[in-house]
Amino acid sequence: MTSTPVSPRAPAWIVLGRAGERVDAALLDADGSELERRRVEASALCSWAAESEARWSPRWVWNDAPRWYAALLAGGVRIGRCHDLRLAHAILRDSALVPESTGVRQAMAWDAAPHEAAPATAPTLFDLDESHQPAGLPSDLEEALAEFARQREAIATSLDAGRLRLLIAAESAGALIAEELRAAGVPWDVAEHDRILVEILGERPPGGGQPARLAAAASRVREALGDPSASLDSQPKLLRSLHRVGVLVESTSRWELAEQKHPVVEPLIEYKKLSRLLSANGWAWLDEWVDDGRFRPVYVPGGVVTGRWASSGGGALQLPRQLREAVRADPGWMLVVADVAQLEPRVLAAMASDTALAEAARGRDLYAGVVDSGAVATRQEAKIAMLGAMYGATTGESGRLVPRLRRAYPRAMGLVDEAARKGEDGGVVSTWLGRTSPPPSEEWSSAQSRATEAEASGAEETRAKRWARDRGRFTRNFVVQGTAAEWALAWLADLRGRLEALPPVGVEHSAPRSGPVFAARPHLAFFLHDEVIVHTPASLADQVADAVTDAAAAAGRLLFGDFPLDFLLDVRISDTALKA
């Protein structure tokens, strides 16, 4: 290891960059002034990072968390805080709070897509060598320092530096958590998964092919179609077969099929359900994605424009209900499963400072509270109306019920209505902390401009109006879904800290398949928008359940101050993730 002279001051930031098989590090004070530099061999990075973390608790600055943190976790090192330059760049580049002239907008080299994760094998320290990484983001120290300086300037000159700092801190915490989720994995019972598949599909056929119950459903569909060779897995061919027997649908969606009266409908819906299970989470999925009792999906923080997470492998965001019983804690451990009730409507109440809607949510099911307010007659009507308001439904039951919500909750409904108007007019909208929606495409803008010309055709005017409404629905939901994602990040980050503060268990009670960082302590194992699963030693399960609840309340205070709003949780302690 080499270094410049050591400063007596503790660094607030440590910026990392690659230099072949070595790592360069710049230690900065709180205002970004450089204190010293270090050059660390890749093989020594884990020990140096662990020592620095214990000594200074700095915020680590790197180009992209997956390119660094996976190897540190594999080496037994947990990082407390980071600043993810790629994620922060995307936020600042697009935020309406940031001046147009900011250098971040011109630094297009940092617009790279998320890092593509390698197969689920433990990375080694030598994976830090840039030759093992795909091209894309700048990776050396000077480039990282330059981008970090641009980002600090963009925040400092923004219209609301406090909100942007909080958003970037939360987004960066999410980047750490995503890697930790993959490192620890979801505890998975392979035998139980196989039992469920056999029960639903029939025995696994040797050498591939369709299991018995799927094949039987296919035979019933073909019999109802009167075509023993009908193709069921090609939608265009299947639609032609359906049209020939008088089932005049435009798609093979379950909802559209269910409206038809024909003997083919029931077996076709059954076939599609079984086929989906086999293709998405069947034996091939089990072989590929579950290893040594752990499902290790690849999460992509900020993978959706609203800030929601996406998944680039394993289908982490589509865990089927019928397979949740296969999510099973290790012996001596338990799962603490928590769902937030009606997260987006609650967030909307806080954003709009709508005390009437907050009162409907206080300590109870929000939809039941809406009914009790007299706005609508039933819980189902309340749900239809609220979802219609947030997603822009204007016809059917939603169209009938949403005006009632506007009268009962004018502040909340006014917020989403205004967001829709901005979108329809070609404007952008922002979340509570400052993530901004993408601007309209050139094609969209051209269509709107063309529709205002004297020679515009009726078709062009109709298309422009339809596209404007579509964009209004997008911006209407963007502000709510994006702010809900921010609350969820704050919840995760706070909970992560609370779990770290709980005592570890002894080796005899550990779960070694969760990896060196998490084998002896409670840890996050799964996240899906408004749900978390914590894998915990059984002796700590009650404390973990309290931590989950306390973290939700803390996240609400962090974002919305003392606004009187409950984030109601359904918290369960069980050995499986099965829902009632």
- Is 207 or 429 the better-scoring residue by pLDDT? 429
pLDDT attached to residue 184: 98
H or E stretch including 65?
Answer: helix 65-74
- The answer to whether residue 483 scores a pLDDT higher than 50 is yes
Rounded to whole angstroms, how far apart are CA atoms 524 and 438?
Answer: 32
**Could you tell me how far CA 342 lies from the centroid of its own chain?**
17
> What top-level class would CATH report for the domain 344-481?
mainly alpha
Domain 191-286 has CATH 1.20.1060: yes
Report the pLDDT averaged over residues 237-241: 95
pLDDT attached to residue 388: 93
Helices (H) and strands (E) in the chain, counts: 20, 15
- The answer to whether residue 127 scores a pLDDT higher than 70 is no
pLDDT attached to residue 125: 40
Rounded to whole angstroms, how far apart are CA atoms 513 and 293?
Answer: 7
Domain boundaries, the chain: 2-183, 191-286, 294-342+485-574, 344-481
- The answer to whether residue 320 scores a pLDDT higher than 90 is no
Strand arrangement of the beta sheet that strand 186-187 belongs to: 186-187, 294-295, 290-291
Rounded to whole angstroms, how far apart are CA atoms 437 and 455?
Answer: 32
Average pLDDT score, the chain: 93
Torsion angles phi and psi, residue 315, rounded to 5:
70, 40
DSSP state, residue 226: T
> In a 3-state reduction of DSSP, which class is residue 45?
helix
Beta carbons within 8 Å of 301's beta carbon, 6+ residues apart: 87, 171, 174, 175, 177, 178, 309
> In a 3-state reduction of DSSP, which class is residue 10?
coil
Indicate the pTM of the whole model. 0.93
Rounded to whole angstroms, how far apart are CA atoms 22 and 538?
Answer: 42
Kindly report, residue by residue over 509-532, the tens digit of the pLDDT.
Answer: 999 999 999 999 999 999 999 999
Domain 294-342+485-574 has CATH 3.30.70.370: yes
> In a 3-state reduction of DSSP, which class is residue 521?
coil
**Could you tell me how far CA 483 lies from the centroid of its own chain?**
12
- The answer to whether residue 222 scores a pLDDT higher than 90 is yes
- Is 580 or 451 the better-scoring residue by pLDDT? 451
Please list the alpha-helical segments (H only) found in 189-249. 190-201, 212-225, 235-244
Locate tokens 């439904």: which residue? 393
- The answer to whether residue 563 scores a pLDDT higher than 80 is yes
Beta carbons within 8 Å of 11's beta carbon, 6+ residues apart: 27, 28, 29, 35, 56, 58
The amino acid present at 340, given as its one-letter code, is V
The amino acid present at 179, given as its one-letter code, is E
Report the pLDDT averaged over residues 173-182: 98
In 33-155 the beta strands, taken as DSSP E runs, fall at 34-41, 59-62, 81-84
- The answer to whether residue 130 scores a pLDDT higher than 50 is no
DSSP assignment string, 413-472: HHHHHHHHHHHHTT---B-TT--BPPPPPHHHHHHHHHHTSTT--HHHHHHHHHHHHHHH
Rounded to whole angstroms, how far apart are CA atoms 63 and 72?
Answer: 15
The amino acid present at 5, given as its one-letter code, is P
H or E stretch including 254?
Answer: helix 254-258
Confidence of residue 119 (pLDDT cuts 50, 70, 90): very low
Which two three-digit tokens encode residue 573? 């302690």
> In a 3-state reduction of DSSP, which class is residue 298?
strand
Rounded to whole angstroms, how far apart are CA atoms 208 and 314?
Answer: 20
Going by C-alpha positions, the residue among 382, 442, 394 that lies closest to residue 420 is: 394
Report the pLDDT averaged over residues 436-462: 95
**Could you tell me how far CA 427 lies from the centroid of its own chain?**
25
Confidence of residue 126 (pLDDT cuts 50, 70, 90): very low
Q: What angle do CA 565, 570, 575 make, to 5 degrees?
A: 150
Locate tokens 């004297």: which residue? 454
Tell me how far apart the terminal alpha carbons of the chain are, to the nearest angstrom: 56
pLDDT-above-70 percentage for the chain:
95
Torsion angles phi and psi, residue 453, rounded to 5:
-75, 150
Going by C-alpha positions, the residue among 540, 180, 497, 79 that lies closest to residue 329 is: 540
- The answer to whether residue 120 scores a pLDDT higher than 80 is no
Report the pLDDT averaged over residues 259-278: 94
